[in-house]
Structure 1
Amino acid sequence: MIINILVGIAVIIAFFIGYYLLSHINKTMFEINVQKNPRLSGAARTGGITFILLGVLGILSMIIQNDIFILIVLLTTTFAGTILEMVIMNIINHR
């Protein structure tokens, strides 16, 4: 039961991050114009698509109720978020 709540929270966060990144491709993010910075634009596009896919996989894992699949989705979401955060922070620090 508690794992379903955790996966549900992870799915909501993944969809929110994916939507945020994809909606800010043509806007300013962290005081940087994303359109003029190809590295940030690529990171936002790739990260947004990745998190939308991870959200869909999270919903699928809640439906299937396979513990190994749930674990893989949660670990992948965690690692993808950490890597994306490091990439975006690298872009911000080296502008």
Structure 2
Amino acid sequence: MHTDRGSEYTSDEFRTEMRQLGMRQSMGRVGSCYDNAAAESWFALLRSEIGTSVWATQAEARADVFRFTEVEYNRSRLRRHPEFGYITPLETRAWL
């Protein structure tokens, strides 16, 4: 889980809970907002595409996010790639 350096994220209570859940924490540098830009951009896109629906179950929410990410975004959405023209994110990974 990536967080900023807010007091709620640096507290012993929060860090203990992270360990108990088996999660690892990373934090942005002091005074830098750029490390969160990619994640915030992705979540803004996700919200605009699937909305802020209330799903009946966690499984339904996961399925909707998975469908958008793996079917619509990674396999269908064309992105401009400087070397290869318009390709999907999945095709971009093949070149890396």
Normalization by structure 1: what TM-score?
0.31
Q: Which has the higher helix share?
A: 1
Task: Select the structure of larger CA radius of gyration.
Answer: 2
Normalization by structure 2: what TM-score?
0.30
Q: Which has the higher strand share?
A: 2
